[in-house]
Amino acid sequence: MSTEPRTLDGPLLSAEELHKSFGPTPALDGASFSIRRGEVVAIMGPSGSGKSTLLHCLAGIVPPDSGTITYAGRNLTALTDAHRSALRRSEFGFVFQFGQLVPELSCVENVALPLRLAGTRRKEAHRVAKEWLERLEVSDVGHKRPGEVSGGQGQRVAVARSLVTTPKVVFADEPTGALDSYNGERVMQLLTDAARETHAAVVLVTHEARVAAYSDREVVVRDGQVRDMAGVG
């Protein structure tokens, strides 16, 4: 299997006919999905329909039982674990529902962490991290630990961390699920503005139409399968 990028015109990331079961429960049952460079796609659907499992498979975190995932022309499923982890660190960013910041580190250290893991020197990593905190309107909490900031501030820090390496794809799993509507909307605005500016694609899992409204396109997952919004009555 070639590991060379094939084309810049096709989808940046795609999944074909993914199947994934946890014990007897099928979480994905022939799910297909694709996203282009710079596109923001909302994955919607009821709880338990397979949205998070699809996101985890697309990000190379959970291996599907069958099916293919292609990223920039490379077969993600065929890569070694080490190669997949390296790819995740350099090309992907992540935002989860509850921030998942490292509690022992300050906010600026949290944002700098992906750069530090990629080998950037501390001073430079902190400089870039501070720029991102400013952009996410939380430069004032840089020195604080995650336990000392509000939910909305923490989630902005998490968004800054997801973008600090200027990834090609940001995976956001219910990024506003723990926020009130004002902070939720603001976080979505900041995330999608920054993603559009840096040409990052965003795979956004949400069950809220208000949040999905920030996307370019919506798909719905039902019973482990993906349907285009246009085809859902």
Pick from 50, 64, 146, 184: which binds ligand ADP (CB under 6 A)? 50
Number of H-type helices and E-type strands within the chain = 7, 10
Q: Which stretch binds ligand ADP (CB under 6 A): 32-40, 46-54, 88-96, 121-129?
A: 46-54
**Does 24 contact ligand ADP by CB under 6 A?**
no
Instruction: Put the strands of the sheet holding 66-71 in their side by side order.
Output: 25-35, 13-22, 66-71, 74-75
**Does 84 contact ligand ADP by CB under 6 A?**
no
CB closer to ligand ADP out of 51 and 74: 51
**Does 175 contact ligand ADP by CB under 6 A?**
no
**By C-alpha distance, which of 79, 98, 97 is closest to 88?**
79
How many other CB atoms sit within 10 Å of the CB of residue 8? 9
How many other CB atoms sit within 10 Å of the CB of residue 67? 17
**By C-alpha distance, which of 219, 225, 206, 173 is closest to 19?**
225
Find the radius of gyration of the CA atoms of the chain: 17
Contact string 114-153 vs ligand ADP (x = CB under 6 A)? ----------------------------------------
Pick from 5, 6, 10, 25: which binds ligand ADP (CB under 6 A)? 25
Minimum distance between the CB of residue 230 and ligand ADP, rounded to whole angstroms?
20
CB closer to ligand ADP out of 49 and 162: 49
